[in-house]
């Protein structure tokens, strides 16, 4: 072992020891926290909140201001569009105007009661608009919101390519749901006919995120925004002709769920006409953000794989990347859900099949738009399990504690806890068939990281991300290995996370039991891939990162945090595994709501 290797190992060991000692010795304190609304809510045992949480939140806010300043400069340099034609069209720069408006909204930290959280707080460009804090990705999984330290229940999904998901629909012939946004597809797009726009209406009034108590608060804050003139240029001068009551600022400084609101979701007392106008503004907020997310600034189709699709002779994949691609659409069976415009060949069910045709799509999205239960174990690090006591505002995010089970799409169809109301009663009978299912995200940009941390994989230097809905997986190597060996003989154990038998290593040769055993996806789990073949699939996934054919905006010159080094991708994050406590039965408001699951969920 050479001196460089020893030094690298020493650095990572010292980092882990220091972090673990800091976590074990103290909680994040009120003294160190930035909490404009008063006392800090900290129901968490030592080790759930990372010790660097406050400085990391501040670091991201500083980065947000950098990108916001760039967006303001872009707007001010924009030639105003000309409203003309029938129907009226913003001729010339109308597209850029609405995309720029959405970008300004993305980085506006005033769209939260305490003016301390923007959409970008959980979705920064250098990680494909997903979670930007490595220590959060290692520890608490869900990101903190405007109230410190309320937090959500799932990982922050990537924005990239989300606007291409269709309106949620049940395909009766296939007996499958397709479309929607969010992990549980609750942003159906039923009204705006855009799931991505519908999704953008969630976080600003989510109690665990940006946390406004009323959608009118977003309208109110937009009426005060620097970029109000751009909004009015795009959507009309009378957009904010609304009479807001004198107590609007006070109400909008109060986070959602506060006992003082008396359970009202419309505490800003507007006239019916003003409420309608405010709702229209909120729809335009959503449409603008979706326009930005669909723009080439976010969903760019500029990866190495895109160059390869255009001209494979002049833009070849490396030998490992090409082998990984062939495994991705063959033996690995990845292409059966993460569609690339080709058939799955050779398929596990047809081992001698071959696809020799040209790609059917030159802009493949690497998703089927469906949902699946991949059998992830319950992750006891998820912050939601500990928020079962009232915070300083009298709000309790998860009264069920560890009795909560994340049934994903199934809970949404039943309008259960932690999700939205289901707008389509005809879908309800399908709930037992989709319990445990989560959205099949696009595989595009799954490997995106800032330039100075050029990979997601240890030993790095790497940026620590989190994968799947509950962040249980910590590297792409682990992700592929999970698909490959979840059901392999001698790898699957009837234990919860943190309790693998002696002599085994969790996430290597021990997979704990699924949180939800119903409706498991059995197209993967025992693929027979070798260790090298797993690595080759990872190499291929890295070709799906935008920014290869042209620079990706704000990816490589915004991140000011640190990279991690040392260890291996196979055991990445294992130092932060904690034992799952004894689990109570599944809560009645989750598992006893008709139609009941096909088999009991413990």
Instruction: Count CA atoms closer than 13 A to 73's CA, side-chain side.
Output: 6
Q: Is the pLDDT of residue 185 over 60?
A: yes
Q: Is the pLDDT of residue 64 over 90?
A: yes
Q: What pLDDT digit, counting tens, does each position of 546-572 carry?
A: 999 999 999 999 999 999 999 999 999
Contact assessment for residue 418 and residue 398, using Cβ atoms and an 8 Å cutoff: yes
Q: Cβ neighbours of residue 65 under 8 Å, at least 6 residues apart?
A: 107
Please report, for residues 26, 224, 360, 564, the alpha-carbon distance to residue 186 in angstroms, rounded to integers and kept in the order given. Answer: 37, 30, 30, 35
- Please, is 467 exposed, middle or buried when counting C-beta atoms within 10 Å of its C-beta (0-12, 13-18, 19+)? buried
DSSP 579: P
Mean pLDDT within 349-367: 83
Measure the CA–CA gap between 412 and 418, rounded to whole angstroms: 9
Contact assessment for residue 100 and residue 231, using Cβ atoms and an 8 Å cutoff: no
Mean pLDDT within 522-543: 98
Q: Is the pLDDT of residue 224 over 80?
A: yes
Mean pLDDT within 530-540: 98
Q: Is the pLDDT of residue 357 over 80?
A: no
Look at residue 18 in the predicted model and tell me its pLDDT.
39
Q: Cβ neighbours of residue 193 under 8 Å, at least 6 residues apart?
A: 167
Q: Is the pLDDT of residue 405 over 50?
A: yes
Look at residue 345 in the predicted model and tell me its pLDDT.
78
Structure-token match 């229940």, residue found: 153
Assigned CATH topology for domain 3-294? Cytochrome Bc1 Complex; Chain D, domain 2 (1.10.760)
**Domain locations along the chain:** 3-294
Q: Is the pLDDT of residue 136 over 80?
A: yes
Q: Is the pLDDT of residue 13 over 70?
A: no
Measure the CA–CA gap between 117 and 135, rounded to whole angstroms: 18
Q: Is the pLDDT of residue 10 over 60?
A: no
Q: Is the pLDDT of residue 1 over 90?
A: no
Which of 370, 300, 233, 331 lies closest to 540, judged by CA? 331
Q: Cβ neighbours of residue 10 under 8 Å, at least 6 residues apart?
A: none
What are phi and psi for residue 146, nearest 5 degrees? Answer: -65, -35
Q: Is the pLDDT of residue 27 over 80?
A: no
Task: Report residue 295 CA to chain centroid gap.
Answer: 19
Which of 410, 401, 370 lies closest to 518, judged by CA? 410
Contact assessment for residue 286 and residue 532, using Cβ atoms and an 8 Å cutoff: no
Confidence band, pLDDT 50/70/90 cuts, at residue 15? very low
Look at residue 168 in the predicted model and tell me its pLDDT.
98
Look at residue 344 in the predicted model and tell me its pLDDT.
80
The token pair at 245 is 């009551």
Measure the CA–CA gap between 162 and 369, rounded to whole angstroms: 10
Measure the CA–CA gap between 301 and 520, rounded to whole angstroms: 32
Mean pLDDT within 86-112: 98
Q: Cβ neighbours of residue 380 under 8 Å, at least 6 residues apart?
A: 402, 496, 497, 498, 578, 579, 580, 581
Query: What is 359-402 written as a DSSP string?
Result: PS-SS--S--S-EEB--PPP-TT-GGGG--S--TTS--S-TTGG
The token pair at 442 is 């696009």
pTM, two decimals, is 0.93
- From the CB of residue 45, how many other CB atoms can be counted at a distance below 10 Å? 12
What is the overall mean pLDDT for the chain? 93
No. of helices (H) and no. of strands (E), the chain: 16, 6
Q: Is the pLDDT of residue 24 over 90?
A: no
Which of 537, 340, 348 lies closest to 442, judged by CA? 340
The token pair at 291 is 């326009």
Beta strand 89-91 with 371-372 is unpaired
Look at residue 122 in the predicted model and tell me its pLDDT.
98
Look at residue 40 in the predicted model and tell me its pLDDT.
95
**Helix or strand (DSSP H, E) at 272:** helix 272-294
Q: Is the pLDDT of residue 577 over 90?
A: yes
Mean pLDDT within 573-577: 98
Percent of the chain with pLDDT over 70: 94
Look at residue 172 in the predicted model and tell me its pLDDT.
96
Confidence band, pLDDT 50/70/90 cuts, at residue 38? low
Confidence band, pLDDT 50/70/90 cuts, at residue 348? confident
> How many residues can be counted in the chain?
602
Q: What pLDDT digit, counting tens, does each position of 503-513 carry?
A: 999 999 999 99
Mean pLDDT within 94-108: 98
Look at residue 35 in the predicted model and tell me its pLDDT.
42
The token pair at 589 is 């408001």
What are phi and psi for residue 169, nearest 5 degrees? Answer: -145, 145
Measure the CA–CA gap between 300 and 475, rounded to whole angstroms: 24
Contact assessment for residue 54 and residue 116, using Cβ atoms and an 8 Å cutoff: no
Measure the CA–CA gap between 205 and 100, rounded to whole angstroms: 23
Look at residue 246 in the predicted model and tell me its pLDDT.
98
């Amino acid at each position: 072992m050479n001196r460089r290797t020893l030094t690298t190992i020493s650095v990572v060991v010292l980092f882990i020891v220091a972090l673990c000692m800091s976590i074990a010795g103290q909680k994040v304190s009120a003294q160190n926290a930035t909490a404009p609304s008063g006392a800090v809510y900290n129901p968490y045992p030592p080790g759930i909140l990372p010790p660097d949480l406050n400085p990391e939140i501040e670091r991201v806010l500083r980065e947000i201001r950098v990108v916001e300043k760039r967006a303001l400069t872009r707007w001010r340099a924009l030639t105003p569009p000309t409203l003309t034609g029938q129907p009226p069209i913003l001729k010339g720069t109308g597209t850029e105007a609405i995309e720029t408006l959405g970008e300004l909204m993305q980085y506006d930290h005033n769209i939260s009661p305490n003016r301390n959280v923007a959409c970008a707080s959980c979705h920064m460009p250098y990680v494909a608009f997903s979670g930007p804090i490595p220590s959060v990705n290692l520890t608490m999984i869900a990101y903190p919101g405007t109230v410190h330290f309320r937090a959500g229940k799932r990982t922050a999904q990537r924005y990239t390519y989300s606007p291409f998901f269709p309106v949620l629909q049940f395909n009766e012939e296939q007996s499958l749901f397709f479309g929607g946004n969010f992990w549980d597809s609750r942003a159906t797009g039923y009204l705006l006919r855009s799931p991505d726009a519908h999704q953008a209406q969630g976080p600003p009034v989510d109690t665990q995120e940006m946390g406004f108590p009323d959608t009118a608060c977003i309208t109110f804050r937009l009426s005060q925004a620097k970029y109000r003139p751009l909004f009015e240029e795009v959507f009309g001068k009378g957009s904010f002709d609304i009479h807001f009551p004198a107590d609007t600022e006070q109400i909008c400084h109060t986070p959602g769920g506060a006992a003082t609101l008396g359970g009202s979701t419309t505490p800003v007392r507007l006239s019916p006409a003003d409420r309608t106008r405010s709702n229209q503004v909120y729809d335009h907020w959503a449409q603008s953000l979706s326009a930005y997310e669909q723009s080439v600034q976010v969903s760019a189709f500029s990866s190495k794989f895109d160059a390869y699709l255009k001209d494979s002779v002049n833009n070849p994949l490396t030998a490992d990347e090409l082998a990984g691609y062939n495994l991705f659409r063959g033996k690995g069976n990845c292409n059966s859900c993460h569609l690339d415009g080709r058939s799955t060949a050779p398929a596990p069910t047809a081992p001698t099949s071959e696809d020799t045709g040209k790609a059917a799509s030159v802009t493949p999205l690497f998703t089927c738009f469906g949902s699946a239960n991949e059998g992830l174990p319950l992750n006891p690090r998820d912050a939601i399990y500990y928020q079962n006591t009232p915070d300083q505002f009298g709000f309790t995010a998860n009264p069920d504690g560890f009795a909560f089970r994340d049934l994903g799409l199934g809970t949404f169809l039943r309008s259960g806890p932690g999700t939205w109301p289901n707008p389509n009663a005809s879908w309800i009978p399908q709930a037992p068939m989709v319990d445990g299912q989560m959205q099949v995200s696009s595989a595009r940009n799954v490997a995106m990281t800032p330039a100075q941390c050029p990979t997601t994989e240890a030993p790095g230097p790497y940026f620590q991300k989190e994968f799947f809905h509950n962040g249980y997986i910590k590297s792409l190597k682990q992700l592929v290995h999970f698909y490959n060996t979840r059901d392999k003989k001698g790898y699957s154990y009837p234990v919860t996370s943190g309790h693998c038998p002696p002599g085994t290593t969790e996430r290597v040769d021990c997979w704990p039991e699924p949180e939800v055993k119903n409706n498991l996806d059995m197209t993967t789990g025992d693929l027979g891939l070798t260790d090298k073949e797993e690595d080759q699939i990872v190499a291929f996934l890295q070709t799906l990162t935008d920014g290869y054919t042209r620079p990706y905006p704000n990816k490589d010159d915004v991140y000011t945090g640190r990279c991690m080094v040392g260890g291996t991708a196979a055991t990445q994050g294992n130092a932060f595994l904690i034992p799952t406590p004894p689990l109570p039965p599944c809560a009645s408001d989750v598992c006893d709501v008709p139609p009941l699951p096909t088999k009991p969920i413990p």
